[in-house]
Every structure is written in C-alpha cells, then in structure tokens.
C-alpha cells in the first residue's frame, strides 16, 4: 500500500501541475492535471486493476484568463559614442632564405684484428707423503 501526491505552481516558468495516486494491493487509482501550452487544463483520472487493466478518463477545462503582465519599457539610449576606427597596413617583410651546403665528411677505418692463443693454467694436486718410524730398542 502507498499513497503520494505532489504539485508544482511556478509563476516564473508557468509550470503548473499536480498528481496524486494511491495503491491498495493490486488496485491503483489516481489523477494528474497540467496546464497545456494553449492555456487549457488537462485532467486525467485513472484506475488500474488485474481484472479491468488500465483505464483513464481525460477531460479539459477552458483556459483561465490571467491579468496582463506589465512589462517595463527599456530606457531610451540618450547618447551614443562612435567607435574609433583605425587601420594600419600590415608590415610585410621578406628575406630570401640563405642557401648553404657542406659536403658530409666521409671517414673509413679498418677494423683492428688481433688474435691471442688461449692460455691454459695447470695446477697439480700435492703429492702425499707418508712417514714411518721404527721403534727404538735400547740394549
């Protein structure tokens, strides 16, 4: 269940509308109205339920005459000032481009080729020394 409503009445933009709606289970009913561009008010009353679907009745009311809005006339311009117009011819300068050419320097160096025989390092394991002493006999 829910029930809501809103309304707008904006004198600056002329927006004038309102709506309200209620729901009870699957039955919804409500209405909305708005002022159309020609000044007439359109009013729509609607209901919706599972048996009859959505049904709306639309009717219009004649435009309501509003009092004319007084508009202030703009103040007349008393004095105008002519803009100062000046023209100066653009300064045109031209200089011929400087043409110069220098031949590229070409150098060649033959690659350095060298060869060195590989060196081999050899290290031998130490020789094992075993000692033996005989028993000393004293007579």
Task: Output the tens digit of pLDDT for each of the chain's 139 residues.
Answer: 999 999 988 888 878 899 999 999 999 999 999 888 888 899 999 999 999 999 999 999 887 665 566 677 777 777 777 777 777 777 777 777 777 777 777 777 777 777 777 777 777 777 766 666 667 666 6
Q: Is residue 57 part of a domain?
A: yes
Domain that holds residue 34: 2-61
Q: Nearest CA to 16 among 66, 57, 88?
A: 66
**Which pair of structure tokens corresponds to residue 123?**
């290290």
**Which pair of structure tokens corresponds to residue 112?**
């350095």
**Which pair of structure tokens corresponds to residue 47?**
């209901």
Distance CA 86, CA 132 (A): 126
Model-level pTM greater than 0.95? no
Contacts of 4 (CB under 8 A, 6+ apart): 20, 21
Q: Is residue 34 part of a domain?
A: yes
Number of domains in the chain: 1
């Amino acid at each position: 269940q829910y029930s809501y409503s809103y309304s707008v009445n904006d004198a600056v933009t002329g927006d004038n509308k309102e709506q309200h709606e209620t729901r009870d289970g699957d039955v919804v009913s409500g209405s909305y109205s708005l002022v159309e561009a020609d000044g007439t008010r359109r009013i729509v009353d609607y209901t919706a339920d599972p048996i009859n679907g959505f049904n709306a009745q639309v009717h219009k009311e004649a435009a309501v005459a509003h009092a004319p809005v007084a508009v202030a006339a703009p103040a007349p311009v008393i004095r105008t000032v002519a803009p100062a117009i000046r023209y100066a011819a653009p300064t045109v300068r031209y200089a011929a481009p400087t043409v110069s050419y220098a031949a590229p320097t070409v150098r060649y160096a033959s690659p350095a080729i060298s060869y060195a025989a590989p060196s081999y390092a050899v290290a031998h394991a130490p020789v094992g020394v075993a000692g033996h002493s005989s028993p000393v006999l004293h007579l």
